């Protein structure tokens, strides 16, 4: 495979470097900003193309590593070029291949979503951490087994996702990553109300959060569950609700704690969680 990248941001940088360092042929980059393509090409020891058409002609695989909202518009500009038997790939966790590349199959092109389940935060260093990451593969064409083989050979792990489950997959990623930030923000704000500066609050919470996350990842959410909900301590839960200053924070606590209540009921069927369920606005029926 000769792989070209349209878009020279963090994802394009990282995948291109990772591929090139491991013997996968990268033709190079094209970007609306010539400087970005040049920087990425220098980083990967490849070529900065003068036009998207030149990159398409030189490449068997075209990765559109641009923001999600730009994938389809950029693809539409490529339709005037010869795409027969090319592979069109994007790295969006939210979009299916058909959503991103409408009508590509009529052009006799393969279309694929290849999403690294990994936070690519640095365009210079993240490529070193991709071995061991999971890649979600979805799409239409004969090349999915080839991508499984290629990524596995580079040290990654892969799983295929039905197109109909792409939204559920992305929601799972957002909950595990983005929504944790909301929970941390509420926790830090509560400690600020107790007199701790944000940096001190984060330092104080760090051992608790890290140990709990490690337990969750090692043993699963149910076995990691501790605290007043699992104990059936409705009095403490009521006090928690009373100290949450905004309706948004209260709803967040209630919604998460109702999920914990269901987990606790399965874990301790002999315990009556009805008082906590009612306190949280749920039902134990």
Q: What is the pLDDT of residue 283?
A: 55
pLDDT (tens digit per residue) in 203-214? 999 999 999 999
pLDDT (tens digit per residue) in 242-261? 999 899 999 999 999 999 99
The candidate with the shortest Cα–Cα distance to 204, out of 193, 188, 189, 217, is: 188
Q: What is the pLDDT of residue 264?
A: 96
Residue range 76-81: mean pLDDT, rounded: 95
Question: Within a 10 A sphere around the Cβ of 117, how many other Cβ atoms?
Answer: 17
pLDDT at 72 over 90: yes
Q: Could you tell me the pTM of the whole model?
A: 0.87
Lowest mean pLDDT among 15-29, 47-61, 88-102, 269-283: 269-283
Q: Look over the chain and give the mean of its residue pLDDT values, rounded to a whole number.
A: 95
Q: Please say whether the beta carbons of 111 and 80 come within 8 A.
A: no
pLDDT at 230 over 80: yes
pLDDT at 28 over 70: yes
Q: What is the pLDDT of residue 284?
A: 46
Residue range 89-110: mean pLDDT, rounded: 95
CA distance 140 to 108: 11
Q: What is the pLDDT of residue 119?
A: 87
Q: What is the pLDDT of residue 285?
A: 42
Residue range 136-162: mean pLDDT, rounded: 97
pLDDT (tens digit per residue) in 166-194? 999 999 999 999 999 999 999 999 999 99
pLDDT at 37 over 70: yes
pLDDT above 70 as % of the chain: 99
Q: What is the pLDDT of residue 245?
A: 87
Structure confidence at residue 30 as a pLDDT band (50, 70, 90): very high
């Amino acid at each position: 495979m000769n792989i070209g990248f349209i878009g020279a941001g963090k994802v394009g940088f990282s995948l291109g470097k990772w591929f090139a360092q491991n013997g996968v042929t990268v033709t190079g980059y094209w970007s609306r900003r010539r400087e970005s393509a040049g920087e990425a090409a220098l980083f990967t020891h490849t070529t900065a193309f003068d036009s998207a058409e030149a990159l398409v002609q030189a490449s068997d695989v075209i990765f559109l590593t641009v923001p999600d909202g730009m994938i389809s518009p950029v693809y539409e500009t490529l339709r005037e070029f010869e795409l027969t038997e090319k592979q069109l790939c994007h790295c969006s966790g939210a979009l299916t291949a058909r959503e991103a590349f409408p009508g590509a199959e009529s052009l006799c092109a393969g279309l694929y979503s290849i999403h690294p389940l990994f936070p690519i935060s640095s365009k210079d260093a993240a490529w070193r951490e991709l071995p061991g990451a999971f890649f979600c593969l979805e799409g239409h064409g004969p090349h999915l087994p080839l991508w499984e083989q290629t990524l596995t050979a580079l040290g990654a792990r892969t799983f295929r996702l039905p197109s109909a489950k792409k939204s559920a997959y992305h929601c799972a990623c957002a909950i595990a990553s983005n929504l944790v930030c909301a929970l941390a923000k509420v926790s830090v704000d509560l400690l600020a109300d107790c007199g701790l500066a944000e940096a001190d609050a984060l330092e104080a919470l760090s051992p608790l959060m890290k140990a709990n996350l490690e337990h969750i990842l090692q043993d699963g959410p149910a076995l990691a569950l501790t605290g007043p909900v699992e104990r059936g301590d409705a009095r403490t839960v009521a006090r928690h609700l009373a100290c949450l200053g905004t309706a948004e924070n209260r709803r967040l606590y209630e919604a998460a704690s109702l999920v914990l209540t269901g987990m606790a009921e399965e874990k301790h069927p002999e315990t009556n969680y009805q008082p906590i369920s009612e306190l949280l606005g749920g039902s134990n029926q």
